[in-house]
């Protein structure tokens, strides 16, 4: 799915290399939103994720935008990842944690993700390096078009977006090993590379 405009931005942008043919990929093109935006209005306090001081270390913190977002499943797939439940992680020693936001592909999950991303983009969240948003299917079969369209809009507010399919084995408490789906294989490869990248980043 291609989007000519990012609705999170106030003016159109032209991605670098826009004239080149896009490769076959499982995620939407990266947006230009990589840090909080000036002028973004924070959501109401009741719609914000709380902050939680965490101990220990992790290469990546997985934050669920709501209950049942699938953050524990994702953390099981990434070496060195830990969950911060449904809270933005705050590191005791003051370092900036790398965070992946997760939600389900139903209206409740997408709305919760929108609120969390709005909180982050407005600067109302603690200092984190947000790597992106993972949207996990909430049921077997194809996601209805209205939800797919809404997911695309929500994803425009994250630095990166991964849309992941349903895993039937997980529904019955099955193995947490990597699902065979190509989307999950690529997701794990890319996220692991991002989580272990030692390049300094600017975080607001």
Q: Based on the structure, what is the number of domains in the chain?
A: 1
Residue 187's domain is classified under what CATH number?
3.40.50
Q: Per the structure block, which two tokens stand in for 136?
A: 């996990």
Q: What is the pLDDT of residues 60-93, one digit of tens each?
A: 999 999 999 999 999 999 999 999 989 999 998 8
The position carrying tokens 């032209």 is 14
Q: What is the pLDDT of residues 17-64, one digit of tens each?
A: 444 444 444 444 444 576 777 667 788 888 899 999 998 889 999 999
Domain membership of residue 68 (yes or no) is: yes
7 and 151 in contact (C-beta within 8 Å)? no
130 and 101 in contact (C-beta within 8 Å)? yes
Domain membership of residue 17 (yes or no) is: no
What is the domain range of residue 64?
45-195
Domain membership of residue 50 (yes or no) is: yes
Domain membership of residue 12 (yes or no) is: no
Q: What is the pLDDT of residues 94-114, one digit of tens each?
A: 889 999 999 999 999 999 999
Domain membership of residue 127 (yes or no) is: yes
Domain membership of residue 35 (yes or no) is: no
Domain membership of residue 27 (yes or no) is: no
pTM for this prediction: 0.80
């Amino acid at each position: 799915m291609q989007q000519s405009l990012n609705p999170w931005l106030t003016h159109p942008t032209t991605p670098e290399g826009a004239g080149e043919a896009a490769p076959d990929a499982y995620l939407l093109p990266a947006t230009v939103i990589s840090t909080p935006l000036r002028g973004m209005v924070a959501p109401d306090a009741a719609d914000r994720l709380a902050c939680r001081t965490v101990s220990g270390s992790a290469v990546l913190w997985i934050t669920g935008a709501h209950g049942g977002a699938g953050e524990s499943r994702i953390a099981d797939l990434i070496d060195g990842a830990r969950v911060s439940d449904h809270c933005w992680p705050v590191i005791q020693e003051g370092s900036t944690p790398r965070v992946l936001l997760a939600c389900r592909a139903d209206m409740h999950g997408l709305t919760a993700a929108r609120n969390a991303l709005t909180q982050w983009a407005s600067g109302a969240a603690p200092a984190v390096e947000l790597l992106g948003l993972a949207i996990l299917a909430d049921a077997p079969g194809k996601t209805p078009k209205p939800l797919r369209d809404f997911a695309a809009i929500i994803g425009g507010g994250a630095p990166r977006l991964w849309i992941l399919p349903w895993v039937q084995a997980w529904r019955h408490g099955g193995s947490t090993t990597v699902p065979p789906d190509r989307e999950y294989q690529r997701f794990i490869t890319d996220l692991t590379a991002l989580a272990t990248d030692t390049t300094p980043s600017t975080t607001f």
